[in-house]
Amino acid sequence: MSGANTFGRLFCVTTFGESHGPAIGCVIDGCPPGLAIAPEDFRTDLDRRATGRSRFTSQRREADEIEILSGVYQGRTTGTPIALLIRNTDARSKDYGDIAQSFRPGHADYTYWHKYGIRDPRGGGRSSARETTMRVAAGVIAKRWLAERHGIAVQGWMSGIGPYTPDTVDRAVVEDNPLFWPDAAQLPEIEAYLDGLRKSGDSVGARLSVVADHVPVGLGEPIYGKLDADIAAALMSINAVKSVEIGAGNAVAGLRGSENRDELSHEGFLSNHAGGILGGISSGQQIVAHAAIKPTSSILVPGQSLNSAGEAVEIVTKGRHDPCVGIRAVPIVEAMLALVLIDHVLRHRAQCGDVPAQTPQVPNSPAIPSP
Ligand code: EPS
């Protein structure tokens, strides 16, 4: 039985470290041997998630240089535990001096203190989004194995920010802008909105979408290891996520059976309201999931709270915070989906035998359900 800082059953990732500690890291146990991996392979995804890469994110400047401490020999995974480490180099703990004894409204400060009776207030300690660096690092390995062995590709984008939703979803433009936004025409307006938000010292929530293409039929272990249940748990475990949807998600509540079912034909499924999962098992269609992320709770707008002595205080959170933490979450949702998929490919292999090395996607799948 794994502990609460370990994710996955056969591709097992344990993360450790705090935002202002000396380093953060992870140990991956169960990675298949023979996969080529080098420190530079982590660069793109770590940079996509990192702070300080655009004016729309926290200005903390971490190099996020990864060190591979074990499990890789002559550039290939050996099947032994892979240990990855990133040293924290730009923590500014004095930013947290004023609020070390108070609870930021909407933040894990309050519950960590009540649960453990002690907390590391520097940068939120273990509750900081800094931990997601290691999810992304583990996800790089998972994505590479899924792509090389099964042709599975995972892609995420922002599908909502404050009052905005994309008019069109053009996956080709997502990586061309710092907001991972799929509708280029809307960018000037959204960027102006975010600039205003930053100046006002407030923050805003966001919605992320993530898909996996070429997932073979058969992944998922009913009843308690359903693929959609594991994806939901994986996405919900990301800092600040408050809602997860699979496929048409919440919209199914308003649909008739004749509208919601995904009819079958010789050409494939005729729609994908199910998000590529039926009965907890992948159908061979595109896997589609969405997550809603709350606004960053560390804001300059004064708010009421209590301190650890129970006294009423007014809180203002200074420092280097994200006006929308959802912007940096795109590589994180991709990583979590990839970690679930690699785990389920290995679990399927253990129980039922290998899935085809490369799987064509079931045709005619899907238009992404509208937000
Ligand atoms: C974070 C608060 C800020 C962010 C941090 C996440 O931390 P600090 O005040 O120490 O700069 O910069 O994000 C990262 C450092 C990162 O790598 O994601 C929080 O409260 O979650």
Task: Per-residue pLDDT tens, the chain, 371 aa: give them.
Answer: 457 999 999 999 999 999 999 999 999 999 999 999 999 999 999 999 999 999 999 999 999 999 999 999 999 999 999 999 999 999 999 999 999 999 999 999 999 999 999 999 999 999 999 999 999 999 999 999 999 999 999 999 999 999 999 999 999 999 999 999 999 999 999 999 999 999 999 999 999 999 999 999 999 999 999 999 999 999 999 999 999 999 999 999 999 999 999 999 988 999 999 999 999 999 999 999 999 999 999 999 999 999 999 999 999 999 999 999 999 999 999 999 999 999 999 999 999 998 877 777 886 554 444 43
Residue 365 pLDDT: 52
Ligand 1 atom nearest residue 319's Cα: 9
- The answer to whether 172 touches 157, Cβ cutoff 8 Å, is no
User: Which residues make Cβ contacts (< 8 Å) with residue 233, sequence separation at least 6?
Assistant: none
51 lines ligand 1 (CB under 6 A): yes
How high is the pLDDT of residue 267?
86
Q: Write the residue with the smallest CA distance to atom 14 of ligand 1.
A: 130
**Ligand 1 center–CA 296 separation, angstroms:** 10
What is the chain's length? 371
Cβ(319) – ligand 1 distance below 6 Å: yes
d(C-alpha 171, C-alpha 335), whole Å: 17
CA of 320 to the centre of ligand 1 (A): 7
Residue with tokens 């924290």: 88
The distance of Cα 278 from the centroid of its chain, to the nearest Å, equals 23
Give the residue whose CA is nearest to atom 7 of ligand 1.
123
128 Cβ closer than 6 Å to some ligand 1 atom? yes
0.75 cut: is pTM over it? yes
Q: Is the beta carbon of 186 within 6 A of some atom in ligand 1?
A: no
- Which stretch of DSSP H or E encloses residue 82? strand 82-87
User: How many of the other CB atoms lie within 10 Å of CB of 59?
Assistant: 14
53 CB less than 6 Å from ligand 1? no
Q: DSSP 3-state assignment of 149?
A: helix
pLDDT at position 364: 56
Probe ligand 1: pick from 20, 42, 51, 112, max atoms within 8 Å of CB?
A: 51
Scanning the chain, the segments in alpha helix (DSSP H) are 43-49, 109-116, 132-150, 187-200, 227-236, 257-260, 330-352
Q: How many Å lie between the centroid of ligand 1 and the Cα of residue 128? A: 6
Q: What is the CA(208)–ligand 1 centre distance, in A?
A: 19
CA 362/CA 277 separation, integer angstroms: 12
Residue 325 CA, chain-centre distance (Å), reads 11
Atom of ligand 1 nearest to the CA of 49: 18
What is the model's pLDDT at position 357? 76
Q: Which residues contact 52 (CB under 8 A, 6 or more apart)?
A: 58, 59, 60, 61, 62
Q: How far is the CA of 94 from the centre of ligand 1 (A)?
A: 14
- Give the end-to-end CA distance of the chain in Å, rounded to a whole number: 37
**Which amino acid appears at position 84 of this protein?**
L
| Torsions phi, psi for 114 (to 5 deg) | -70, -35
Instruction: Check residue 356 and give its pLDDT.
Output: 76
Long-range interactions of 20-24: CB distance < 8 A, separation 24+? 20/88, 20/91, 20/93, 20/120, 20/122, 20/123, 20/125, 21/88, 21/120, 22/87, 22/88, 23/85, 23/86, 23/87, 23/88, 24/85, 24/86, 24/88, 24/130, 24/131, 24/133, 24/134
Ligand 1: nearest atom to the Cα of 322: 4
Look at residues 194, 18, 181, 176 and name the one whose alpha carbon lies nearest to residue 91. Answer: 18
Bond preceding residue 287 cis, omega within 30 of 0: no
Cα 59 to ligand 1 centroid, rounded to whole Å:
9
User: Which residue has the CA at smallest separation from atom 3 of ligand 1?
Assistant: 321
Rg (CA), the chain: 21
Token code pair at residue 220: 């998922």
The protein residue with its alpha carbon nearest to ligand 1, atom 9, reads: 123
Residue with the smallest CA separation from ligand 1 atom 15 is 130
